[in-house]
Structure 1
């Protein structure tokens, strides 16, 4: 018994933390959704899914707007929990830093698509504390972009009751960015919020900092914008799954909309999204549709023989 407890000490502590948070009804600074959804899972079920030592990997068929046309590509969403230092805002990797870390849910979103002869690769990471009243805000977002003209990087860190933005880029207007934005909701964190508890998504008229991927593709500086948000039942037939919900975001002053479609029942898997805005002279809708999902400790599968797992993920079979 002692060996079992020692071996699974971190999992036990994390499970107890989640149980405590649910018992205290811990919330973040948001408006309560008035849309009914299936009952949330018991804390033990939540812990069993998210603290089992595996990540959730999902692949999507992608059509991405750029240069006034829709370009075919692929997208991958990775959700995984990890210990995250609140002081340096990086992953805790040593025993000495454990007391400075809290459990977070991390999103990794990867989009790859080709534009004519050359390709784009975009990567966003988002780190959101899990039901932690002491740290209710998403702590960090980082996005990198690579294409044949050059590459760029932008990062937001939660500091001094707001977000500090730092950016570097090949492009002249973004070459060296350093500015602050007021604390408010981040579009990039909403993917994590869906997975943690969609009933706590903000609905109605809110201030929202647009997604870093969209900002980089459109060469826009980050700033809070007025957004109209709505959570309701998805009534279309394009996306796979049952009891689907749709979270819709509209930016009236930016002529951009985003819809994230997800399963209404735990674990609220994201089955696709649509993003509409003007690209050159055309108003286009980028779209991603789920192909397949698997759970894996992917960091332990980096040998050539493990390429079969990658093939299974990306092929959708």
Structure 2
């Protein structure tokens, strides 16, 4: 019998995952080990490309959004990717990582945003680390939240005088981890009315003080194989709608953000998926690999 490298990798990850799960009394029961490993433990990342219509300064801007989902080993103590997972012992934790970018142009100058979310695969805990950055010709800003002592400890670095450099502390779940929870299993997404932290990219675009806001989260089926999750914030006029395939691996199909302004007008940002590929992109870094971007529509 011929055993492929892919199958060997899956077996190794399943074995290590079973050890992690058996030592974890608060494991996520919604994760199907064998099914999860068959997709996520291939030593590849899932790259999703979206056509983006981003509202900025009252006008819709066409651009691209990319959502990169990948599993990796994470340090519980340092809250960074581990260099030596095998030697980390109990400090190691498997996470689902989302790196999400948006690229669009406002008039003469470009915008680039990036959101990174690290969500435990097996531990029933809040995402230990969430970071967001926005760069454009006027300047750059960066925000990071780290879950410590049952709350998020945050730092904001901004080129705006009114914001400056500041620290904050918020005890609540984050909207940004919903994408990762969907990919793990949509049943993990909480529903009903609760306090959550709005998207960090939304925060950077609106410059509202970051805090836990009251939101209603609803989940519903919209067809034979699709479902959606909607997050509505009445007080800050924000609505997030995420549509996904209602079967493993729960791929994200599209998402909309609606912001209701003080005068009642609505601004809608939308993203519709056009391409998805499993790629070990970190090994595709030579000049000869650049044509691969075309296959992704980039």
Q: Tell me the distance in 1 between the aligned counterparts of 2:168 and 2:88.
A: 31
Q: Tell me the distance in 2 between the aligned counterparts of 1:279 and 1:122.
A: 22
Q: What is the aligned length?
A: 292
Q: Which residue of 2 aligns with 1:311?
A: 294
> Which has the higher mean CA deviation after the structures are superposed, 55-64 or 303-312?
303-312
Aligned counterpart in structure 1 of residue 36 of structure 2, from 46, 49, 52 = 46
Q: Which residue of 2 aligns with 1:250?
A: 232
Are 2:150 and 1:167 equivalent residues in the alignment? no
1:67–1:279 contact (8 Å) kept in structure 2: no
After the TM superposition, which residues 132-281 of structure 1 pair with which residues of structure 2 at under 5 Å, given as runs? 132-133=123-124, 136-182=125-171, 184-234=172-222, 243-278=225-260
Q: Tell me the distance in 1 between the aligned counterparts of 2:31 and 2:135.
A: 39
Offset, 1:161: 1.0
TM-score, structure 2 as length reference? 0.90
Q: Tell me the distance in 1 between the aligned counterparts of 2:72 and 2:62.
A: 32
Q: Tell me the distance in 2 between the aligned counterparts of 1:48 and 1:79.
A: 15
Alpha-carbon RMSD: 2.6
Offset, 1:299: 0.2
Q: Which residue of 2 aligns with 1:66?
A: 56
1:69–1:279 contact (8 Å) kept in structure 2: no
Q: Tell me the distance in 2 between the aligned counterparts of 1:108 and 1:89.
A: 16
Are 2:268 and 1:285 equivalent residues in the alignment? yes
Q: Tell me the distance in 2 between the aligned counterparts of 1:44 and 1:226.
A: 37
Unaligned ranges ≥5, structure 2? none
Other structure's SS at 2:38 match: helix
1:68–1:280 contact (8 Å) kept in structure 2: no
Are 2:278 and 1:295 equivalent residues in the alignment? yes
Q: Tell me the distance in 1 between the aligned counterparts of 2:225 and 2:163.
A: 42
Instruction: Give deviations 1:150-194, integer Å, cap 9, x for gaps.
Output: 000000001111000001011112220101111x22101000000
Unaligned ranges ≥5, structure 1? 29-39, 236-241
Q: Tell me the distance in 2 between the aligned counterparts of 1:107 and 1:59.
A: 13
TM-score, structure 1 as length reference? 0.85
Q: Which residue of 1 aligns with 2:77?
A: 87
